[in-house]
Structure 1
Amino acid sequence: MRALWSHLSAISNCKLSPRLSAPNSTSHRPIISTDQDPELRDFVGFLESLKNYEKSGLPKGAGTDSRQGFDLARMKRLMLRLNTPHLNYKVVHVAGTKGKGSTCTFLSNILRAAGYSVGSYSSPHILSIKERISCNGVPVSASTLNDLFYSIKPILDQSIQEENGSLSHFEILTGIAFSLFSKENVDIAVIEAGLGGARDATNVIESSNLAASVITTIGEEHLAALGGSLESIAEAKSGIIKHSRPVVLGGSFLPHIEGILRSKAASLSSSVILASNIGSNSSIKGIINKNGIGLCQSCDIVIRNERDDKPIVELGDVNLRMLGHHQLQNAVTATCVSLCLRDQGWGRVTNEAMQIGLENTRLLGRSQFLTPNEADTLQLPGATVLLDGAHTKESARALKDMIKKDFAEKRLVFVVAMASDKDHVSFAKEILSGLKPEAVVLTETDIGGGKVRSTECSVLKESWIKAADELGLGFMEASENKNVFGSFKLAYKILNDDSGMVIVTGSLHFVSSVLASLQH
Structure 2
Amino acid sequence: MTYEQAVQYLEEASFFGIKPGLERITALLAELGNPEKSYKIVHVTGTNGKGSVTTYVSYALFNSGLRVGRFTSPHLESYTERMHINDANISEDGFGALIERVKPAVDAIIAKGIEAPTQFEILTAAAFLFFQEQEVDYAVVEVGLGGLLDSTNVVTPVVSVITNVSIDHQAYCGNTIEEIAHHKAGIIKEGIPVVTAAQGGALNVIEDEATAKHAPLYVFNKRFGIGSRSSMKTGQMVTVSTEDGQPAMLFTSLVGIHQAVNISCALMTVRLLMDQDSSISEETMREGFARATWPGRFEIKKHNDRTYIFDGAHNAAGAEAFGMTYKELFKDEPKTIIMAILSDKDEQAIIREVVKPQDTVYTVPAPTPRSENPLALGKTISDMVKTAEVEVSTTVSDALTTATETTKSGDTIVVCGSLYILGEARAWLQQQDSH
Question: Contact 2:226/2:260 (CA < 8 Å) preserved in 1?
Answer: no
Q: CA separation in 2, counterparts of 1:49 and 1:413?
A: 37
1:303 maps to 2:238: no
In structure 2, the residue matched to 1:508 is: 419
Structure 1 Cα separation of the partners of residues 319 and 366 of structure 2? 19
Task: Point out where structure 2 has 5 or more consecutive residues left out of the alignment.
Answer: none
Establish whether residue 281 from structure 1 lines up as the match of residue 226 from structure 2. yes
Measured against aligned partners, the alpha-carbon deviations of 1:329-351 in whole angstroms (never above 9, x if no partner) come to 111110110011112x1122211
**2:229 aligned partner, one-letter code:** I
Matched, 1:248 2:210: no
Tell me, what secondary structure is at the counterpart of 2:182?
helix
Separation of aligned partners in 2, 1:39 and 1:172: 16
Is 1:425 aligned with 2:373?
no
Task: Specify the structure having the higher radius of gyration (Cα).
Answer: 1
Distance in 2 (alpha carbons) for counterparts of 1:351 and 1:248: 18
Number of residues paired by the alignment? 431
User: Does 1:369 find its partner at 2:323?
Assistant: no
Residue type at the aligned position of 2:251: N
**Is residue 199 from structure 1 mapped to residue 130 from structure 2 by the alignment?**
no
CA RMSD of aligned residues (A): 2.0
Compute the displacement of 1:164 (Å). Answer: 5.1
Q: Deviations over 1:120-140 (max 9, x none)?
A: 111001121111111112111
* Counterpart check, 1:257 vs 2:202: yes
Query: In the aligned structure 2, how far is the partner of 1:52 from the partner of 1:284?
Result: 46
Deviation per CA, 1:345-399, whole angstroms, max 9, x where unpaired?
Answer: 1122211112111110111111111232xxxxxxxx3211111111111111111
Residue 184 (structure 1) shift: 1.3
1:40-60 superposed Cα distances (whole Å, 9 cap, x missing partner):
12222222221357xx6x5xx
What displacement does 1:152 show? 4.1
327, 350, 353: which one aligns with 2:281: 350
Q: Take 1:216 and 1:52, find their aligned partners in 2: how far apart are those partners?
A: 30
Q: Report how far residue 519 of structure 1 moved.
A: 4.5
Q: How does 1:111-510 map to 2 (within 5 A)?
A: 111-163=61-113, 165-206=115-156, 210-251=157-198, 253=199, 255-287=200-232, 295-305=233-243, 312-316=245-249, 318-343=250-275, 345-372=276-303, 381-408=304-331, 410-432=333-355, 435-447=356-368, 452-468=369-385, 475-492=387-404, 495=407, 497-510=408-421
CA distance 1:47–1:483, shift in 2 (3 Å): closer
Change (3 A) 1:297 1:279: farther
Aligned equivalents of 2:294, 2:174: Cα separation in 1 = 30
Work out the CA distance in 1 between the residues paired with 2:72 and 2:22: 19
Shift in alpha-carbon separation, 1:364–1:52, aligned structure 2, 3 A? farther
The whole-number CA distance in structure 2 between the counterparts of 1:446 and 1:416 is 13
Q: Does structure 1 conserve the Cα–Cα contact (< 8 Å) formed by 2:70 and 2:85?
A: yes
Counterpart position of 1:12? none
Maintained 8 Å contact 2:42/2:140: yes
Q: Separation in 1 of the partners of 2:188 and 2:50?
A: 15
* Farther-moved stretch of structure 1 (263-272 vs 274-283): 274-283
TM-score w.r.t. the length of structure 2 is 0.93
C-alpha separation between the residues in 2 aligned to 1:443 and 1:237? Answer: 32
Amino acid across the alignment from 1:488: L
Name stretches of at least 5 consecutive residues in structure 1 with no aligned partner. 1-37, 63-69, 288-294, 373-380
Distance in 1, matches of 2:375 and 2:102, equals: 46
Question: 1:417 Cα deviation (Å)?
Answer: 1.0
Q: Alpha-carbon deviation of 1:278?
A: 3.7
Select the structure with the greater relative contact order (CA < 8 A; seq sep ≥ 6): 1
Say whether the 8 Å CA contact 2:2–2:97 is kept in structure 1: no
8 Å CA contact 1:213, 1:247 repeated in 2: yes
- The one-letter code sitting in structure 2 at the alignment partner of 1:456 is N
- 1:73 CA drift (Å): 1.6
Q: Which amino acid in the other structure matches residue 465 of structure 1?
A: S
Q: CA–CA distance in 2 between the matches of 1:121 and 1:112? A: 14
Which residue number in structure 2 is paired with residue 29 of structure 1?
none
**In structure 1, the residue corresponding to 2:170 is in which secondary structure?**
coil
User: 1:403: how far off?
Assistant: 0.9
Q: 1:226-259, CA deviations, whole angstroms, 9 ceiling, x for partnerless residues?
A: 12222111001110000010110023x1x22110
Deviations 1:422-479 (A, max 9, x none): 11111111224xx4443222122213xxxx11221111112223433xxxx6x33222
The equivalent residue for 1:42 is 5
SS of the residue corresponding to residue 204 of structure 1 reads: coil
The question of 1:100 aligning with 2:100 is answered no
SS of 1:50 mapped into structure 2: helix
Indicate if the aligned counterparts of 2:177 and 2:201 stay in contact, CA closer than 8 A.
Answer: no
Please tell me whether the aligned partners of residues 107 and 338 of structure 1 are also in contact (alpha carbons under 8 angstroms).
Answer: yes
1:304 Cα deviation after fit: 2.4
> Which moved further from structure 2: 124-133 or 163-172?
163-172
Q: Give the aligned residue type for 1:360.
A: R
Secondary structure (helix, strand or coil) at the match of 1:119 reads strand
Q: Secondary structure at the match of 1:348?
A: coil
Question: Aligned partners of 1:326, 1:479: CA distance in 2, in Å?
Answer: 31
Provide the C-alpha distance between the structure 2 equivalents of 1:276 and 1:192, rounded to a whole number of angstroms: 23
Q: Distance in 2 between matches of 1:347 and 1:154?
A: 40
CA distance in structure 2 between the partners assigned to 1:245 and 1:96 by the alignment: 17
Structure 2 residue identity aligned to 1:169: Q
